[in-house]
Amino acid sequence: MDIFTNAHVVGVANNTQKICDAMDLDYETTKHCILAAYMHDVGKIKIPSAILQKNGPLTDEEYEIMKLHTVYGYDIVMSYEQFKYLAPIVRGHHENLDGSGYPDGLKDEEITEEAKLIKVADVWDALTRKRQYKEAFSASESANIMICNVKDGKMGSKYLYYLLLVIVEETIEKNNGNIYELNKAKKDLETLKELDVIYKQIYDRGYSTQYANKLNRYNLSPGYDMTTNTALLTRTKAKIESLEKDIKFYKTEIVKLNKYCKEARRLIKPRERVTYLFGKRV
> 277 has which bridge partners?
280
The per-residue pLDDT for range 190-236, each reduced to its tens digit, is 999 999 999 999 999 999 999 999 999 999 999 999 999 999 999 99
Co-location of 57 and 139 in the same domain: yes
Q: What is the pLDDT of residues 141-176, one digit of tens each?
A: 999 999 999 999 999 999 999 999 999 999 999 999
Does 68 fall in a domain?
yes
Residue 58 makes CB contacts below 8 A (sequence gap 6+) with: 51, 66
Query: What is the model's pLDDT at position 110?
Result: 97
Helix (H) or strand (E) holding 13: helix 3-22
Across residues 125-146, what is the average pLDDT? 93
CATH code: domain of residue 33: 1.10.3210.10
pLDDT on residue 72: 98
Q: What is the pLDDT of residues 15-53, one digit of tens each?
A: 999 999 999 999 999 999 999 999 999 999 999 999 998
pLDDT in the model for residue 3: 82
Domain boundaries, position 60: 3-157+269-281
Residue 163 falls within a domain, yes or no?
no
Question: What's the pTM?
Answer: 0.92
How far apart, in whole angstroms, are the C-alpha atoms of residue 246 and residue 140? 14
Same domain, 22 and 66: yes
In total, how many domains does the chain have?
A: 2
Q: Give the C-alpha separation, 81 to 91, whole Å.
A: 16
φ and ψ at 187, to 5 degrees? -65, -45
Give the bridge partners for 280, in sequence order.
277
136 and 202 co-located in one domain: no
- Residue 261 gets the label, from left (phi > 0), alpha (psi -120 to 50) or beta, of alpha
Distance CA 24, CA 29 (A): 10
